[in-house]
Structure 1
Amino acid sequence: MMIRTLFTNLVTALSLLSGGPLMAGERPLPTPITADDFRPFDTRRAALGQLLFYDKLLSGNRNISCATCHHPEFGTSDGLSLGVGEGGVGIGPTRRIRQDANRPLKRVPRNAPALFNLGHKSVSVMFHDGRVTDADSYGVGFNTPVEEWLPPGLQSVLAAQSLIPLTSKVEMAGSPDENDLAAAANRRIDQVWPVVVTRLQANPDYVALFKAAFDDIDSAADITAAHLGNALDDFQNSEWQSYASPFDDYLNGDATALNPSQTRGLQLFYGKANCASCHSGPLLTDQGFHALALPPFGPGRVRLFDLMARDVGRMSETDLLEDAYRFRTPSLRNVALTAPYGHNGAFATLEGMVRHHLDPSGSLETWDRGQLVLADDPGFAASDFNIWQDSREMARLMARVDIEPVGLSVSEVADLVAFLHALTDPNARKGRLGSPETVPSGLPVDQQDS
């Protein structure tokens, strides 16, 4: 064992000295990430974006912020398989569902994705189904569900994405009969942002902050939805840049940065286990879409004409049959912080998710529902697994698997999981600015014990 580790470290050191690509197993390792790999940001706008990110003023009923479902205490996610947006109380895995007139319509259909490294210059696609991309499909710079009604002036795909959750009934908007924002969304999706902007324009503290952050704002009337999206972008871009994990140290020439188990796991990741065929590049994602036959449950992100609680993934965006049940490859940086795993959080542990990749069909058949982390609700629980009664839908799901089974021993799985833990940057979770104690609206800021 020691000889094998020493040999691996020697090969790594020689590769660095020669200037050639680092190799592990059958595939080359990615080049190290540096600060230059991220889009530039303005510190004034990032500071404004921090307040906006944690301020519940952006939600329909003023009771949920971006941070509610993307909190640093939970790896910039929420610790739930499927989250609870509008109509929930608290944050993290203990978030509960209100049982009054304002209870949510349903669970959020998909797992809340982590926010690490979204300002990296290579990032071109957002959401599990890729419904926001940097393709200029409608003459407004980006391809989004808003199509040509997307506000002009957004600076990145992340800025465009940041505006979309504000329009969702189950995420931040609420029901049309509850507030003016949700009522606007019910009329047409792009009518949401003027309502949010009006709220910001009516707050003197925010007006002063926007004027200080943007040179083209002289008065409250100059604030636009693009300014909001760009401030949120600069904050997220700067806040959760992550390139100081043990793996990064290894890439930068420290052959001792990984322990023996992690080194063996790296060899498996880039070799026998074939993980790097999809989890490639500096962010460990090809930004592509793949079908893995993840166990289905919950309300599904259904299309308007669907009569069942299913989720066809990328197909819901492209309408191409070959894209059915395919979902975006997530970045694995800080993956140990972001449980549960999968587009619907079907697996509570990294080991469970790794084992599913090794044998998707077998894992689906033997899946233990006890792995789910869900807010308790008798009404939702009664229908969470209805899709399993539809034999045709389950057959379609099981027939679409884009990866080949791989046989690994128990010790090899443990080594692979150990390597995934080596992708954790100890400083990234805290962020650069952290959570503010107060926000200009005066609304409460979500804390872990809320």
Structure 2
Amino acid sequence: MGQLLFYDPILSGNRNISCATCHHHDTFSADGLSLGIGEGGQGIGPKRRVAEGGIVKRVPRNAPGLWNVGATEFTTFFHDGRVSETAVYGTGYDSPAEEWLPQGLPNLLTVQALFPLTAQFEMAGNVGENEVIGAVSDRIDLGWPILAKRVRTIPAYGEALTEAFGLESPEDVRIEHIAIALADFMNSEWRSLDAPYDLWLAGEGALTPAQERGRALFFGKGDCASCHSGPLFTDHDFHAIALPPFGPGRTRRWDPIPRDVGRMAETDDLDDAYRFRTPFLRNVTLTAPYGHNGAYPTLAGIIRHHADPVQGLADWRPEMARLPETPWLAAIDFVIHDDRAEMARVASKLDIAPVGLSDGDIADLVAFMSALEGGQSKYGRLGIPDSVPSGLEVER
């Protein structure tokens, strides 16, 4: 059921976007864009396009890959960690829904799965277009019952979910059941721990000379493992690395500037300004571009930025961003670069120190990244369904 729901546009306000629009098998669970297009776009991945005037805002952040997101090591979700565990709201979780989050969600991934459905520029649609965004505009949780009713009144979904969850009838299917199905699919589909590096660790394979040099740099002189640690190559923490800002950004609700303050938007702690969650590196070779906003199109580019963040920020150029062409947004896509004070703040907030890396060192680190690319697992397990119970088009 999770696979079908993941690819079914029935979960979007206008019935034209699915979870897979930005996390498709063809693009290895990401979308290949710096900042994606949700509502208003057509096509998947780098081929996604939008009609003239069809959107008023890009999705503010890069769509990350979904590799191993079901791992219990994950303690937060989203680039700013706005989904986490807490006892404050009586639901077990901290989230944009606060005390209105549905009860009984068993893990963080099920919580995360709910929020793209209610995001205006991702799946919910623009105000006035459908009943889901209308309800969400009143309160974030009011759109979920509408989506749950859509799903349970389709017999194939209603009957299967009733059986799967031991319910009395399809009338008992709620958004919690849909979120659990989506999370179970993501957990199973994109579990990848069969890379050459894993075989090397198990004594069943060898790294190439370049990969071995890169491994030594990664855990040594390059200091990469101070943040990209553990089996998933992330410390699950938040760090500021002066990535070049662009796009609409995400900031505090009362902040009119199109910037992205990262973790601070969630915590309201100035110390968290411009800090973003450390990305995991499994299958990182498959999910370009890189950074919380997809600023760098290549691994070599983002590694070079890590080696000298201030210089990287100064050298970065707008043409490096992979953005679907939208001329009516061009005036604001990079307007933040005209704000000298904001650019100085971004440059000054650094949690990493410069590291001297030659071009050869960077090439070796890229080679080591290739050793983290999964084998057969990188294609998923169930793949793309031929059709979905709603009868709506499956994007390919």
TM-score range, shorter chain: over 0.9
Partner of 1:149: 100
Q: Which one of the candidate residues 87, 91, 115 is aligned to 1:140?
A: 91
Q: How many residues align?
A: 396
Partner of 2:179: 229
Q: Does 1:443 align with 2:380?
A: no
Equivalences for 1:6-405 in 2 at 5 Å? 48-99=1-52, 103-215=54-166, 217-254=167-204, 256-405=205-354
Residue type of the partner of 2:46? Answer: P
- Equivalent residues of 1:313, 1:325 under 8 A apart: yes
1:141 Cα deviation after fit: 1.4
- Equivalent residues of 1:125, 1:157 under 8 A apart: yes
Specify the SS of the correspondent of 1:382: helix
Alpha-carbon distance in 1 for matches of 2:332, 2:56: 13
Residue type of the partner of 1:165? Answer: P
Alpha-carbon distance in 1 for matches of 2:293, 2:336: 14
Q: What does the per-residue CA deviation read over 1:117-165, in whole Å, with 9 as the maximum and x for residues that have no partner?
A: 0111211110000000123331101111101110011111000000001
Residue type of the partner of 2:137? Answer: N
Alpha-carbon distance in 2 for matches of 1:67, 1:137: 32
Residue type of the partner of 2:366? Answer: V
- Equivalent residues of 1:250, 1:258 under 8 A apart: yes
Residue type of the partner of 1:163? Answer: L
1:303 Cα deviation after fit: 2.3
Moved more, 77-86 or 361-370: 361-370
Partner of 1:26: none
- Equivalent residues of 1:134, 1:156 under 8 A apart: no
1:302 Cα deviation after fit: 2.9
Q: TM-score, normalised by structure 1?
A: 0.87
- Equivalent residues of 1:302, 1:311 under 8 A apart: yes
Specify the SS of the correspondent of 1:357: helix
Q: CA RMSD in A?
A: 0.9
1:172 Cα deviation after fit: 0.2
Residue type of the partner of 1:227? Answer: H
Residue type of the partner of 1:226? Answer: E
Gaps of 5+ in 2: none
- Equivalent residues of 1:135, 1:141 under 8 A apart: yes
Moved more, 135-144 or 323-332: 135-144
Q: What does the per-residue CA deviation read over 1:79-135, in whole Å, with 9 as the maximum and x for residues that have no partner?
A: 0000000110000001001226xx222000000011000111211110000000123
Residue type of the partner of 2:184? Answer: D
Residue type of the partner of 1:238? Answer: S
Residue type of the partner of 2:365? Answer: L
Specify the SS of the correspondent of 2:229: coil
- Equivalent residues of 2:48, 2:324 under 8 A apart: yes
Alpha-carbon distance in 2 for matches of 1:161, 1:369: 31
1:428 Cα deviation after fit: 2.4
Alpha-carbon distance in 1 for matches of 2:280, 2:229: 9
Alpha-carbon distance in 1 for matches of 2:110, 2:85: 11
1:430 Cα deviation after fit: 1.5
1:370 Cα deviation after fit: 2.0
Residue type of the partner of 2:42? Answer: V
Alpha-carbon distance in 2 for matches of 1:257, 1:123: 29
- Equivalent residues of 1:72, 1:429 under 8 A apart: no
Q: What does the per-residue CA deviation read over 1:374-408, in whole Å, with 9 as the maximum and x for residues that have no partner?
A: 10010111211100111111111111011000001
1:414 Cα deviation after fit: 0.6
Alpha-carbon distance in 1 for matches of 2:129, 2:121: 12
1:435 Cα deviation after fit: 0.7
- Equivalent residues of 1:76, 1:429 under 8 A apart: no
Specify the SS of the correspondent of 2:367: helix
Alpha-carbon distance in 2 for matches of 1:135, 1:72: 33
Residue type of the partner of 1:80? Answer: L
Q: What does the per-residue CA deviation read over 1:154-213, in whole Å, with 9 as the maximum and x for residues that have no partner?
A: 111000000001111000001120000010111100001001011012211111110221
Q: What does the per-residue CA deviation read over 1:16-46, in whole Å, with 9 as the maximum and x for residues that have no partner?
A: xxxxxxxxxxxxxxxxxxxxxxxxxxxxxxx
Alpha-carbon distance in 1 for matches of 2:5, 2:263: 30
- Equivalent residues of 2:318, 2:334 under 8 A apart: no
Structure 1 segments, 4+ long, off by >2 Å, are: 134-137
Alpha-carbon distance in 2 for matches of 1:362, 1:228: 46
1:429 Cα deviation after fit: 2.5
Alpha-carbon distance in 2 for matches of 1:354, 1:135: 34
